[in-house]
Amino acid sequence: MKNVVLVGFMGTGKTTVGAALSKALGIVQKDLDEVIVEKEGCSIPTLFAERGEAYFRDAESKYLDELLDAGPQILTTGGGVVLRQRNVSAMLQKGTVVALFASEEELIKRLENDTGRPLLAGGVAERVRTLLKERAGAYDFAPIQIDTTEKELQAIVAEITSRLT
């Protein structure tokens, strides 16, 4: 079995779906953001504040490569991993990529009390709207695409597993 790589905008449910998928398939889940925090020894907001976004993106690409080579596993990624074409190519080459989506309204609802995502600082609703526009189409490369807006977790997992085989 290949890696299963979950991509999608912040708040689309990658980590939750990844954990449930890991249980269903009996394959270990690794979260790219968690690995970055572990290896770099500091939180994502601190990394952004002290080293800058470019440093974070370099770390993201580096640990993505390591995780893709360590599989097969369920790999959950941060929403911005698709911003680099080399990451997109690596994910497509070394895994089956599943993109999760949700409506703008639903994303704002899910993220409105968030404090751990530096790109949402200064007003969640406005930042979500802006970033969704900037990233329009960025997740469309994934061969499996699922809208999580109104779906139960188990239905999402069932849809993904049925499409993996």
Question: What is the contact surface with ligand S3P in residues (CB under 6 A)?
Answer: 10, 14, 33, 44, 78-80, 117-119
Please give the Cα distance from 52 to 57 (Å, whole number). Answer: 9
> Measured from the CB atom, is 121 or 158 closer to ligand S3P?
121
> Could you tell me which residues are annotated as the binding site for substrate?
33, 57, 79, 135
Least distance in Å: CB of 7 to ligand S3P? Answer: 9
CB of 165 to ligand S3P, least distance (A): 27
In the complex with ligand S3P, the residue whose CB is nearer, 1 or 123, is 123
Nearer to ligand S3P, 25 or 131 (CB): 131
- Classified as helix, coil or strand, 30 is strand
Q: Which residues are annotated as a binding site?
A: 11-16, 33, 57, 79, 117, 135
